[in-house]
Structure 1
Amino acid sequence: MRHQSPSSWAAICICIAALVHFALGFSIEFSVDEAHYALYAQHLAWSYFDHPPLVGWIQWPLVALTSSEGLIRLVPEFLWAIACFLVYLVTLEIHRYIQGRNSGYLTSALPSANACGLMAVLAIIAAPMPHVLAIGLLPDTLLAPLSLGLMLMALRWLIQDHFTIGDWLLTGALLGLAGLSKYTAIFTAFALLLVLISARRKPWIGKIGFWLAAILALLLISPVLYWNWVNDWISFKYQIAHGSGGEWLWRRLGAFLGIQIIAFGPLLIIGSYIFLKDCMHGTKLSLLSLLGFFFIPFVIFASLSGGGSLPHWTTPAWFCLAPFAGIGLAKAWSIQHRTVIRLLFILQIALCLIGFGFVLSGGISSASIKSNPIADLYGWKSAGQKAAELTQATKADGIAVQNWTLGSRAAWYAKPIPVFVLDQRKDQFDLWFGELPSGANILLIHWSGMSFPPPIATKAGFERCEPLDNLEIQRFGRVLSKFDFSLCSNWQGPSAAE
């Protein structure tokens, strides 16, 4: 490493990780969420039932040109690389801010800004969860670089004497794009507001630039507001119910925190602890306000986790914590605490590589197909193509599944055949394909990894379902899952199956 600068090594490490993502992106089929958001791009709209529209808009050009999973996955890969670059850049700016506010021993004891930036990038590369979002496009993949961009603007506000109109407009654009990415961007907006309030001597609310930024942000999110207005605010109602989850349990909170440590690694936590302990002198209020970009969303998600939450929701927050962790890790490295850092880095990279191998192998062999979560990533392309052929051969009115998570892959890989979800939960499929008409004949797909009783009932379901064909999915000689196809006749109303 002595022959390259820290910035060069940061770029090299990002490129190596990107190549691994690129190889994986061409090796596996779409996950349920990826297929769902690719369908966003195929059915362009002002907004969607469960998320704002940017996750669909941004991949529309590639989806319009190709159906290759690997090529479409260039979008999240590009966003991940931008986020890593912004982690490096924000680290340099925080280092510069600390040096500008401190003198004496602390300033001289800090490692170089480039070394801190390298450590911050390595901490992100060694974290398992960001690799998932680098391969598969989720709203959080978008929100990570946008949150870092807003954090960078907050740093500029603290360092510079004033904001130009251009700075305000850029801030407003980033806020608007964040709002188009995910509704939880409101937490990032709160963090930015906290920074503005913390700088007491800098007036902002009376500045014309601030109001221009606010107007621009509102203009950018206006498609979401308009779409929800004409659709009875269904997206907001769904998100409120989804975020509240079920019964609040302490064990869920404990599980959430444990999964966070595994998913993002101890390096980010240890580096941040060292930063808080050794690098806060003389700049506590302003730096604590910047840490709001991590703590505000993380604390909110942790408090909601008792009712149920997903581990990747905190990913943008961890990206915003990485610059602080990088400075802390670089400081620990400079005072000879290198063995522990090396060991943790090697362990986290090994965990990532084991995860990559686990995905490529098709999962661990098990007597129970349901116990293998990786089976969900294989077979849907073949199943979708067979379903399309059977639908055309039987002149069925479309394809049916019994859960929306099965519908995303079916709709993507069997396009343009309509897909109906046989449950009573209103979702995006109802907006795309409408309700299944009474008396319809449908090709039903049953996947062995998610079993449901046959949707046959006197008053709610089909009159009969007749088996047509099946498809066994194998990976390296092992059976991962099985698809069964049936022709179901005379739909008589909403299915009782959930």
Structure 2
Amino acid sequence: MRQYPPSAWAIFSILIAALVHFGLGFAIEFSVDEAHYALYAQHLAFSYFDHPPLVGWIQWPLISLTSNEGIIRLVPELLWVLSCYGVFLVSKELHRLIQGRNAGYLTSALPSANTCALMSVLCIIAAPLPHVLAIGLLPDSILIPLSLGIMLMSIRWIRKDTYAASDWLVLGILLGLAGLSKYTACFTALALFIVFLLHPRKTWIRQGGFWLALLIALILISPVLYWNMTHDWISFRYQIAHGGGSSWAWRRVAAFLGLQVLCFGPLIIIGAFLFCKDCLYTSRRSMIALLSFFVIPFVIFAALSGGGGLPHWTSPAWFCLAPFSGIGLAKAWSIRHRFWIKFLLILQITLCLMGFVYVLSGGINTAAIKSNPIADLYGWKLAGQKAAELVRANQVQGIAVQNWTLGSRIAWYAHPLPVFILDQRQDQFDLWFGELPLGSSVLLVNWTGMPFNQPTLDKPIDGPSGEKFAFGECKPIEHIAIERFGQNLSSFEFSLCSHWQKTGLR
């Protein structure tokens, strides 16, 4: 490694990981969320039921040209590379801040800024879950580089105590784009406010640039506000209910924390601990303010996890923690504490590689198909094409499924046929395709990974106002099995269902 500078190793590491992502992007079909957000790009709007619009807008140029998954996945891949570059820049800027505030023995013992930045990037490359975001586009994939950009601007504010007009302009654009990417961008904005608030001098509040930045951010997120205003604020109401989850339980919090360690690895945690132990008392107020980019979202999501949550929600927070971890690990490396760093780095990268092989293989062959999570990534293209063929052959009104997670892939691969969700819960599909009209006939698709009873008169579906809905008759007409490397992953059943009707009250 001494033959090349740390920056060269950082570039080399990022490129190797990017090539792996690129290959995987062409090898697997869209996941449920990827297909859902790709549908955003096919139905451009000011906003959507469950998320702001940027995740759809950013894909639109490619999706208007192609439906190839690998090419479309260049978007999250570029965002991941940009995020790694952001981690590199933030780490160097943080190193410069520490050096500038303390010229004592601690900072003189720190390795070079590029070495710290390399360690920060390796913390991300060795973490399993960020690779998922590099292949499949989620709102978090966009929020991560934007959060790092806002954090970078925060460090520059602390160092310079002033902004040029161009700095305020950039900050306003970053805040606005973050708001267009995901509602949890408010946590990043709160961390930025804490940086301003804890600064000894409150000069920012008297600067016209600060208010200009707020105005720019507000203008950029105005499409979301307008769309919600014209749709009874359904997106905000959904997110509040979704964030609260179900009944709260400590065991869910414990499971969430354990899953976070598994998804992001112990290396980044140990690095953050070493930083806090050795460097936190250097410009303590500034460091605490900057650490809020991790602490605020992580603590909030950990608290909410008692009612339910997803592990990738904290991804922007972990990326913002990586620069601190890289400095802590680089300092430990410089004083010959290298065994455990090497061990954890090799272990985590090995686990990532095993995960890639596991996905490509189709998972573990078990009798219980539902227990294989990788089965969810295969077969939907074939099922969508078969569904489109059967709809046209039988001249029915469209395709029906009983949960939106089944509808996303079918709607993408059977485009432009309408897909109706029968669970009677309001979602984005109601805005795109409406409710299934009474008396309609459709092709019902059932998947063994998430099976449902056919909603016939003897097994109706409950409606939101106490009524029940069912088809007069459902007749299976086709069945396809999905196999990979000789193992059965799942199967799809296609039924012709007629006369959708109300059957009375519960």
TM-score, normalized by the shorter chain, greater than 0.5: yes
Supply the AA of the counterpart residue of 1:489. Answer: S
Partner of 1:473: 482
CA contact (8 A) 1:173 1:220 kept: yes
Partners of 1:365 and 1:495 in 2: CA distance: 44
CA contact (8 A) 1:473 1:481 kept: yes
Q: Quote the offset at 1:177 in angstroms.
A: 0.3
Stretches of 4+ aligned residues off by more than 6 angstroms:
494-497
Q: Quote the offset at 1:496 in angstroms.
A: 11
CA contact (8 A) 2:455 2:471 kept: yes
Partners of 2:24 and 2:193 in 1: CA distance: 39
SS at match of 1:282: coil
Change (3 A) 1:111 1:453: same
Deviations 1:118-154 (A, max 9, x none): 0000010000000000000000000000000000000
Partner of 1:489: 498
Partner of 1:461: 470
Q: Is 1:32–2:32 an aligned residue pair?
A: yes
Partner of 2:200: 200
CA contact (8 A) 1:460 1:496 kept: no
Change (3 A) 1:496 1:159: farther
Deviations 1:171-219 (A, max 9, x none): 0110000000000000000000000011122411121101100000000
Supply the AA of the counterpart residue of 1:324. Answer: F
Aligned-CA RMSD value: 1.2
Supply the AA of the counterpart residue of 2:482. Answer: I
Deviations 1:243-297 (A, max 9, x none): 0001110000000000000100011100000000101233100011000000000
Q: Is 1:441–2:450 an aligned residue pair?
A: no
CA contact (8 A) 1:411 1:418 kept: yes
CA contact (8 A) 1:102 1:281 kept: no
What does 1:77-116 correspond to in 2, within 5 Å?
77-116=77-116
Partners of 2:134 and 2:316 in 1: CA distance: 12
- Identity between Structure 1 and Structure 2 (%): 68
CA contact (8 A) 2:457 2:503 kept: no
Partner of 1:432: 432
Partners of 1:224 and 1:96 in 2: CA distance: 38
CA contact (8 A) 1:461 1:496 kept: no
What does 1:34-183 correspond to in 2, within 5 Å?
34-183=34-183
Q: Is 1:402–2:407 an aligned residue pair?
A: no
SS at match of 2:4: coil
SS at match of 2:474: strand
Change (3 A) 1:206 1:298: same
Supply the AA of the counterpart residue of 1:298. Answer: F
SS at match of 1:492: strand
What does 1:261-272 correspond to in 2, within 5 Å?
261-272=261-272
Partner of 2:317: 317
Q: How many corresponding residue pairs?
A: 497
Partners of 2:424 and 2:341 in 1: CA distance: 51
Q: Is 1:418–2:427 an aligned residue pair?
A: no
Gaps of 5+ in 1: none
Partners of 1:183 and 1:128 in 2: CA distance: 24
Partners of 2:319 and 2:8 in 1: CA distance: 20
CA contact (8 A) 2:87 2:323 kept: yes
TM-score (norm: length of structure 1) = 0.99
Partners of 1:347 and 1:107 in 2: CA distance: 30
Q: Is 1:212–2:212 an aligned residue pair?
A: yes
Change (3 A) 1:10 1:494: farther
Deviations 1:357-380 (A, max 9, x none): 110000011011111010000000
Partner of 2:328: 328
Supply the AA of the counterpart residue of 2:295. Answer: F
Deviations 1:337-391 (A, max 9, x none): 1110000001100110111111000001101111101000000000000000000
CA contact (8 A) 1:443 1:487 kept: yes
Partners of 2:166 and 2:286 in 1: CA distance: 23
Partner of 1:375: 375
Partner of 1:392: 392
Partner of 1:239: 239
CA contact (8 A) 1:391 1:398 kept: yes
Supply the AA of the counterpart residue of 2:18. Answer: A
